[in-house]
Amino acid sequence: MPRRALRKVDPSLDLSRWLRTFETLPQPWNAEALFGRAAPLEVEVGSGKGLFIASASAARPERDFLGIEIAHKYAKHAAAKLARLNRTNAVMVHGDGLRIFRELLPDASLAAVHVYFPDPWWKARHKKRRVMNEGFSKDVERVLQTGGVLHFWTDVEEYFQTTLELIRTTVALAGPFEVAEREAEHDLDYRTHFERRMRLGGEPIYRAEFRREG
């Protein structure tokens, strides 16, 4: 199934509230300064076109959502979607998610971390570039609050199994807990655009959740 072209962003749309970079985030970190309130915070690494952050911020208005996307055109596209919806509890960041976790987010600051369909970096010499690596896993454990959850989905079974083993051997997160597939109620009732494409194409998806218990 071919990918749809990105919608052109209206040049008159003011994205300053919804599109940030590492340099324009509060430093030291202050989520209340970014969102204008104190609320549980969830972070998505690799937001793509922004379907998850737009849907989740609508479904859970009592929570705040930070999406991180390294590709500028996708970060801008997702931010424009949030701007058109005037979503006050969601912000996009154009930047390196691993750096933001490593250098900016403090201990026990997140209610959830979402990683959906990260680049598998197929070639053996490139697998060190995968987002699900030892350093990031340790940072996820560090920034999750007690009861906080890591959501990890991929369409690559080898990446899924490798990540389960990585988490088992490097951090003390409980899991993996199985995540059942549910029927979509409408055309965009999917976690991400990639999930929609895979499921409509009949491709398998591997899902797991992990939880920090102490």
Q: Is 96 a catalytic residue?
A: no
The span from the CA of 63 to the CA of 104, in Å, is 20
144-154 and 19-21 beta bridge pairing: unpaired
Residue type, 30: N
Catalytic residue among 96, 107, 119, 155: 119
- H helix runs in 144-210, sequence order: 157-170, 193-200
Instruction: Give the C-alpha distances (Å, rounded to integers) separating 3 from 10, 12, 72, 165, 197.
Output: 21, 26, 18, 32, 8
Active site residues: 119
